[in-house]
Structures are given as C-alpha cells and as structure tokens.
A and B are shown apart, each in its own frame.
Chain A
Amino acid sequence: MDFLYSLTVATALLFVLSLLSNILNFFSIPLFIIGGILLQPLLSDTLNIISIPAQLGLLLLLFYIGFEISPIRYLKNIRKVLYDGSIDLIFAFILPLIITFAFVREIKFALFLSALLYVSSSAINLKIIVDSKFAIYSFAEKAINIALFQDLLVSFFIIILPLFFVEFKSTSLFLSLSNVFIFGVFLNIIYFLLKYTRDFINRSSDETIILLSFAAMIFSSYISSKLINSEAMGAFIAGSVIKATGYRIDIKRAFAPIKDIFSPFFFLYFGLNIKIGFVLDQWLIIILTVLIAVISKYLVSYLLYPQKTSSLFRNLLFGLLTIRGEFSIVLAAISINYLDEKSFALISVISTAIIFVNIIIGLSLIRVFEKKLRLKNL
C-alpha cells in the first residue's frame, strides 16, 4: 500500500472523527477507537504504515505521563491524598482484582484488567473541573486527590509490571538480571549527561532542546525495549528525566502539538487491532466488567460522601471518577507484550467498552447535577 495514500486516508478519517467529537460535544478518544473498529475492513491494508505514527503516539503519551508525574505535587496535601486515594485503591482496584482473579485464575490478566478499570482520566477531570467551575467545592478536591494517587499507581503499573512479568529474551537468570541492572546504569548515565550539559544546552536554540528531548525519549524507549522488552517504560522514564533536567523552555508545551498529531493515530490503530470476533462468546464477562467499573466508583463516592445531605456532591464525584480515558487504553496497549492473543483481544474490547460507556454515564451525571450548582452561582 502506498505510504502517502495510507497516511492521507488515516489523517482524513481522524480529522472527520475529531470534527464529529466537537459537533457531538463528546471526547474524541472513544470516537477514534470506534472509528478504527468500524473501518477495519477498509483500512486493513494500511495497518503497517499507520503503526509507525501510532507507536510514536503511544511513546509521546507515556513521555507526557512521565513528565506530568511529580512527587512534589503530593507533599502539600499528603494526608488527604493518602486517605481519598486509599479508599479508591481498595474499592476500585483491589476489590475488582480479587473478583477478576477468582474468576479467571490468571494473575497477569487480572492485574491489567483491574488497573485499567481503576484509573480515571485526570486530563478529562481537570478540564471538567475548570470549565464547570467546580474548583471551589470539596468534591473536586477529592477527585483531584484521587487522580494524584492514581498517578502514582500508574507509574507503578508502567515501571513495575513489565519488570514483574518480563519474559527475558535471554535464558539465563543472571543475564536477565544483568539487563535490568544495565538499564538502570544507562538511565543514570543519561540523567547525569543531561544534567551536566544543561547550561550548555540551555544556551542553544529552542530547536536543539526540543530535538534533544525527543531523541532522549526515542533512545530510552529503544534501550528499554531491547533490555527488558518494554519500550513503554523507557518513554515514561525519559519524561521524568527530562523534567528533572530543567531546560529553559517548557518541553511540555513544546511537545503538545506533536502529541496531538500522533496520539490520535495510536487510538485509531488500537481500534483497528481490536478483534471483536475473538470475544463475541464472552459478552457476559464484558458486561459484568463494565458494571464493576461503574459500581466500584459509586462505592468510592458513597464512602467519601456517606451523608444523605451531600448526595449532590456524591453524584458529581461519582460522575468525575466514572470517566475513564487515555490511561486505560495505554495500559491495555502495554498488555499486548504480556498476554496471549485471546486475552489481549478481551482486554482491548473491555477497555473500549469501559471508556465509551463510562464517559457517557459520567458526562450525563455531571450535566444533570451541575445545574443545581449553577443556579446558586451569581
């Protein structure tokens, strides 16, 4: 298939889906995935070509997550973050993990499934909190505390899970452990190189700094894919390292347009690879999982707002927590390295169903209940 023709078809499709999301006032991520699923027969020839921008999109998303996560953010509200986050962790992660493991008896599958059920979309939540003027209310603070706690857990999933499940290419345990050690040494070298050349690099042009950051992301992903079979971890850690280096330009802002171009390709490619035919007979599990995703977040909202008088805030917190987004899809995509074909097909269908259904439920709740707050605003 012609390279430019494939890219033309894919970008045109992404543009139409993005436009549709604006018209429907709905988030674009589920539409990109659904678009990919529906157009599988038409775009099957373009898969190899789309996979290149899609992989860059995934790396950029992970680089961004690594860039965003900063332990300093937790220090000021540490008690509240730990309290709200722990309730969410117990009822929205550990409980589903136990239930899933009891049914499937497969720890990798249960861990990835519970992880993508658990993680709400902090990006969507923050946008809603600012746009709907929720910041003055305590439920918004709780939603942010939970999002912060989840950020830590996402780091855990991205860094620890690949190490935990890594199927090393070498057969000897000694060589496998050496790979992990070499990767650690490599990261330290990169960090010190970037840190000690910072002043020199800071005197260079913006273009040089952006290219160096991009190269660090790609190189780190390459090394981690070769050593520990997880390019995700390399991109994620590169984000944290570049942030700690402290370049004079705002890398996050500089990378935003690149991420906005490539991440839709990742979601489209994810949709194109979903094999619904593989999991049609498992429709009951899919429905039950979507239900668990909703019920667990209601339980968390109820425990944080048990009084009858605060039902309005409970419903709004429930609305915010219910919404899942890019994190769930990223985790589902990472699981491809660790699960068999059928389990990955199930995980990808479940993650798509969860974000689609939960965004609808979450947004509907917020739109219904926020009116009660707006009436009071002067």
Chain B
Amino acid sequence: MNESELPGVGTKYWKKLENGTTLTIIRHDSGRFEIAYSGQESEIPEYYSEVTEEEAIEIGSVLAQKVHQKIVEKMDILVKNLIIEWFKVPSGYESRTIGDIQIRKKTGVSVVAILREKETIPGPGPQDNILPQDVLLIVGKKESIEAFKRLFSN
C-alpha cells in the first residue's frame, strides 16, 4: 500500500489493484476515514464513502483475519517463555532515568513503552525518565519480572 502524509489532515493510503482500478483510503487525524474507489480512466471516484473509526476497525478486522491468524501462530511460539505485563510505578517513587536505574542489567526486563497521562513513549531509551504514576509495558522472563517488581518496591 502506498502511503503519503497529509500534514494537518491525516494520512493517505492508496493501492493500484490487479484489475487496474485504484483504492484510496484517507485516515483523518480526527479519527474518521474516507474510502474511495476509482476506475482506470479517471481519478474521480466511482464509489466514495465516509467511515467512522468503529466501522473501519470492523472492516479492517474482517479483511485482516487471515493475516491475524498467521501473526498469532508466530506470537504463540515467541511468547512461550516470556511475560508481557503492565506495571504502575508507585507514587512515592523518585524520578530517575532508565539508564540510571540499570533495569535491564539488574533484572533482565525490557521496558517497551511508557504511558504518562496524555503522552506515550514507545521504545524508551536509557535517557528517558520514569516518573511516579507512569504505566510501563515490560517484557521479560517470569523471574526477571519478579526481580523488576522487587526493585521498584524497594
């Protein structure tokens, strides 16, 4: 699928289908979607519709069912020895960076994301701070997760 950013509007996705027609989808920053289908000759769509976010999720999940099945099969193998967990940082915790705490070195756990009120930090680095009340998405073996929780309870 081709993709181009429309700053201030959203993102445009389009694909030339095997039959020569073009499918265009606009994902607006506001959450709504526009779907257009145009013929071989003209850019003006033969079919056009606005779609709400919920409808788009429903349509997308039907179209992606086969793909999901494959991903889930792969995930099963990967996840066997790992635990993915949400962890809320205690309110009395003193703010420090991931690097200072040496989370991975001390516990073997990886912090995958930090959720902070209206902000999300995906893939945080050693320079990123962990603040009280942050919600962390962590990945590790069972014993590592336990060590991680002990580290924060201390």
Contacts and interface: CB of A to CB of B under 8 A. Distances in A.
B118 to A, nearest CB: 6
A116 interface: no
Given A135-B34, A136-B24, A141-B4, A378 B49 contact: yes
Interface residues of B, number: 29
Interface residues of A, number: 31
B12 A141 contact: yes
Nearest to A135: B26
Interface string B37-71: 00000011111111000000000000000000000
A313 B43 CA distance: 10
B47 A378 contact: yes
Contact of B116 (A73, A122, A140, A248): A248
Contact of B118 (A135, A203, A248, A373): A248
B119 A248 contact: yes
B28 interface: yes
Interface string B113-127: 000111100000000
A282 interface: no
A250 B118 contact: yes
B89 to A, nearest CB: 13
A133 B34 contact: yes
Given A199-B129, A249-B118, A144 B6 contact: yes
B84 interface: no
Contacts of B95: 199
Contacts of A135: 6, 9-10, 12, 26, 28, 34
A101 to B, nearest CB: 33
Q: Looking at B9, B24, B116, B131, which has the most chain A CB atoms within 10 Å of its CB? A: B9
Interface in A273-322: 312-313
A378 B5 contact: no
Contacts of A133: 34, 48, 50
A376 B45 contact: yes
B124 to A, nearest CB: 13
Contact of B48 (A147, A199, A378): A378
Contact of B43 (A129, A137, A202, A249): A137
B92 interface: no
B147 interface: no
Interface of A: 73, 76-77, 80, 122, 126, 129-130, 133, 135-138, 140-141, 144, 147-148, 199, 202-203, 246, 248-250, 312-313, 373, 376-378
Q: Which 8 A-B pairs have the closest CB atoms?
A: A76-B5, A126-B8, A73-B7, A377-B48, A136-B36, A135-B26, A376-B44, A136-B24
Interface of B: 3-10, 12, 24, 26, 28, 34, 36, 43-50, 95, 116-119, 129, 131
